[in-house]
Structure 1
Amino acid sequence: MARFTILNLPTFTDPRGSLTVLEDSLPFKAVRTYWIYGADGQTRGGHRHTHTRQALVAISGTVSIFMNDGIRSDTVELNHPSQCLLIEPKDWHTMTFGPGSVLLVMSSHTYDRSEYIDTPYE
């Protein structure tokens, strides 16, 4: 899994529960934030970008992300809210959702359909 970057976000735990902090953890400024839920068993994504970087956190449940950067591919399983997967523009990705999963996505750019690349690597 060394090919793709997972950040272990700062997490503070005491008897009252856990608090995970995203502040100053991303290598880009998040200008668009959204979450995907209600997608149990579904696969979404299936693209890469020309310039947008993304950070993904499975807030709840498990999300399996297939990644391919044109050289190597791997499947990353996000299953803890303190793990954050970085997706670079060159990274083809699909996301498969486990039961009850909620995926938080932070993007470096606003939505622009024209910068999506829908053709996977051969």
Structure 2
Amino acid sequence: MAYQISLKTFTDARGNLTVIEKVIPFDVKRIFYIYGVDDSVRGGHRHHKTIQAAICIQGSCIITNNDGEKEEEFTLDTPDKCLILEPKDWHQMKNFTDDAILMVLASEYFDAEDYIYENYI
């Protein structure tokens, strides 16, 4: 089941510093980011093995999730929110603001065979 964690953020007169250290429940093998999205819906899959951590480092977006038992919607709108997606989490990303940058940390290297595109019935 997908769940959110808070990333430790230090704030002072100079600005903010958010740290990703010892909170991601896997070793990171791949990092990618999505930006410049029009009104398209991204994602639409789950995985056999890959766990992901999604952070909207600028702007906002919505991630809908279905783990086969429960459907949920998560709004990522601050860079200190991190959404953990388990392999069974069929997810879509949508409603990106014009300035949105969604960074995703993944537990596995890209493997086309790891993707399952069929949603739960």
The verdict on a shared fold, with TM-score over 0.5 as the criterion, is yes
Q: In the alignment, is the contact (CA less than 8 A) between 1:7 and 1:85 conserved in 2?
A: yes
Equivalent pairs counted in the alignment come to 120
TM-score, normalised by the number of residues in structure 2: 0.96
Alignment TM-score, normalising by the size of structure 1:
0.95
Cα distance, 1:46 vs. partner? 0.1
Aligned 1:1-122 pairs, distance under 5 A: 4-96=2-94, 97-122=96-121
1:42 is displaced (CA, Å) by 2.0
Q: Which residues of structure 2 form unaligned runs of 5+? A: none
Alpha-carbon shift at residue 98 of structure 1 (Å) = 2.1
Q: Distance in 1 between matches of 2:99 and 2:54?
A: 16
RMSD: 0.9
User: Identity of paired residues, percent?
Assistant: 43
Hey, what's the Cα distance between the residues in 1 that align with 2:87 and 2:2? 12
Separation in 2, partners of 1:4, 1:81: 18
Which structure 1 residue ranges, 4+ long, deviate > 6 Å from structure 2?
none
